[in-house]
Structure 1
Amino acid sequence: MSDCDIIVQELVKFRDDRHWEQFHDSKNLAAAISIEAAELNELFLWKNMPDAEQVNKERLKEELADVFSFCFLLANKHNLNVKEIVLDKIKKNAEKYPIDKSKGTSKKYNEL
């Protein structure tokens, strides 16, 4: 069993033990991802560099875990393998952002 599978198994058990599956439709899971991502952003709000890099690591871990958890649950709801979809996206991005054109620039792929 992969690490991703273990995480999903634990998340589903946690959810199901509390009978929360009824609340975990796609809309609510997507909203939860957005809300948790906003809480992650809040850790850096109004901080200038390099202060923004001096984030509270415990809070950072908590917020990242919340975002990841809801992402895993949404993927699981749609029978998507997180490892596969992330690796596929990396391949697509490599095609859209070839090294010779994108190295060192923040331009979007259609501006390269």
Structure 2
Amino acid sequence: MNETQEQPPEPTRQPEPSQPAGRRPDERLEQLQRRLAQFAAARGWEPYHTPKNLAVALSVEAAELVEIFQWLTPEESARVMEKPESAHRVADEVADVLAYLLQFCEVLGVDVLDALAAKIERNEIRFPVPGTPTPNRHSSE
């Protein structure tokens, strides 16, 4: 079918979780990291999974995600998940970005959840909510 022809919207299906509900997110993340490591090991890819190579691959996959949105208006980009084809492309690229990020963190020993939590805390201090006192200022300022 031609891309310019209107297609009836199909509901976006979410894949079934690969593990039982009720597991902590960090357990699921660890499980996914193990699966990625096993996938690479089974194919003999570990020698290529250096921090540099993984950072480059992560950048390439992020660029592929950006490419989906490159010429869309802000309004079109907000509706990208409404069309099954573009929703699938976005989900695939998000998965690729996350896969390389998790592999990168695994190789360097970075706990991605701890790193994110620490970064959020630093940003909360660095960028306080307007009108709230900051810990670095005295009440007389």
TM-score class, shorter-chain normalisation, is 0.7 to 0.9
Gap regions ≥5 residues in structure 1:
102-112
Q: Which amino acid aligns with 1:3?
A: R
Q: Which amino acid aligns with 1:75?
A: C
Instruction: Give the corresponding residue for 1:16.
Output: 41
Shift of the alpha carbon at 1:54?
2.5
Gap regions ≥5 residues in structure 2:
1-25, 81-85, 132-141
Partner of residue 62 from structure 1, selected from 87, 92, 98: 92
Scaled by the length of structure 1, the TM-score of the pair is 0.85
Partner of residue 126 from structure 2, selected from 74, 96, 106: 96
Percent sequence identity is 31
Q: Which amino acid aligns with 1:14?
A: F
- Structure 1 residue runs of 4+, over 6 Å off? none
Scaled by the length of structure 2, the TM-score of the pair is 0.68
Partner of residue 40 from structure 1, selected from 56, 65, 69: 65
CA RMSD of aligned residues (A): 1.2
For residues 51 and 102 of structure 2, the distance between their equivalents in structure 1, rounded to whole angstroms, comes to 12
Instruction: Give the corresponding residue for 2:135.
Output: none
Shift of the alpha carbon at 1:5?
0.6
Structure showing greater Rg = 2
Q: Which amino acid aligns with 2:58?
A: I
For this pair of structures, how many residues does the alignment match? 101
